[in-house]
Amino acid sequence: MPVTLRQLDVLVAVVDEGGFGAAADSLRMSQSAVSHSLAALESMTGAPLVVRAPTIATTPLGDAVLAHARSVLASVRALEATVDLHRHDAMIGTVRLAAGVTASHRLVPELLSRWRAELPGLDVRLFEGSDEELQTWLDTGAVDAAVLNDPDPIHHGAVVLARDDFRAVLRADHPLAGETRINLGDLTDDPMLVSTSGCEPQIMTMHAMAGFPYVPAQRVHATTTLLGMIEAGLGVAIMPALALTMLTDNLVMVVLDQHLERTLVFTGPSGRPWHPSVERMRDVAQATTKPG
């Protein structure tokens, strides 16, 4: 029995939605139809693809099949969009876009507004993740486009959206909060707080530039948690300049002597043809952004 696109859709939806009922709602199917479709796929593969209790989780085989399913479905979305563009000469349908926290807070909202104005038939869905997750999602087809942090190499057809540098984030009553520029060495007595959701490699590089060991006191995932810890007086952090708008009145950002920039790039996947709407989104972004 050949694998069907519907079966792949069901597998992805069950995993992403975390259950059969939610997957059924997402796909506008009955729950029994979702269960039957996944069971048929598992019958064809000869082994379970998901563990159903206590929570939905993929098996090792399920992980492998899921990666192929995402890639196939992404290609099908791009194919359908190409045909729609030929028939209607308009951007319609859904595009999945991934971005990191600071890009989602500052850059992406402006782009979403521009895309809505210039590509009104397009529905852009934003998925926020860590730097590592963004690249994986793009490679596997979980998303159609992404705003990547310092991709190496930059994919053909990608455009640079912005460049910013890394700065110290301190509580407003910190002794160095009023300085216009400080050295990373000035912060060696302060606990270093780091977010694992992005930019940790750059922070490690900055410590190497300053000649100090990288020894974070706390590593947390969420940027909001990191900012809350700084505000509580638990330490200091290094963050990209774009994060300035995320700071409360109790926090300040100070330029560091160890100057290091990052580049934020809008791109489609490197291993398969781009969704045609992603190409149009790229063109709009290129015309409306001024990397600096």
**CA-CA distance, 183 to 54, in Å (whole number)?**
50
Per-residue pLDDT averaged across 95-119, rounded?
92
- pLDDT > 70: percent of the chain: 98
133-142 burial: b if 16+ Cβ within 10 Å, else e: bbbbbbbbbb
What is the reported pLDDT for 266?
A: 96
Give the tens place of pLDDT for each residue, 2-47: 899 999 999 999 998 999 999 999 899 999 999 999 999 999 999 9
Rounded mean pLDDT of 67-89?
83
Residue 290: is its pLDDT beyond 70? no
Nearest by Cα to 198 from 139, 268, 264: 264
In whole angstroms, give the CA distance from residue 85 to residue 73.
Answer: 18
* pLDDT surpasses 80 at 287: yes
Select the more confidently predicted residue: 82 or 59.
59
Residues whose CB falls within 8 Å of the CB of residue 99, separated by 6 or more in sequence, listed in order: 107, 108, 126, 127, 128, 129, 134, 146, 147
The DSSP 8-state label assigned to residue 151 in this structure reads -
Is the model's pLDDT at 87 over the cut of 80? Answer: no
- Predicted local distance difference test score (pLDDT) of residue 141: 87
pLDDT of residue 53: 83
Going from the N-terminus, what domains does the chain have, and what CATH number goes with each?
Answer: 1-90 (1.10.10.10), 92-292 (3.40.190.290)
CA distance 162 to 259: 16
Q: Which residues contact 79 (CB under 8 A, 6 or more apart)?
A: none
Q: Which residue has the higher pLDDT, 73 or 166?
A: 166
* Phi, psi at 28, each rounded to 5°: 55, 50
Position 291 scores a pLDDT of: 57
What's the residue count for the chain? Answer: 292
DSSP letter string over 265-285?
Answer: EEE--SSSPPPHHHHHHHHHH
pLDDT tens digits along 184-243:
999 999 999 999 887 899 999 999 999 999 999 999 988 999 999 999 999 999 999 999
What one-letter code names the amino acid at 66?
Answer: L
pLDDT at 155 over 90: no
What pLDDT is recorded for position 263? Answer: 94
Whole-number Cα distances in Å, 177 to 117, 156, 208, 250:
41, 42, 23, 10
Q: In the prediction, which pLDDT does 219 show? A: 93
- Bond into 216 cis (ω within 30): no
User: 272 near 200, Cβ under 8 Å?
Assistant: no
Distance CA 43, CA 76 (A): 24
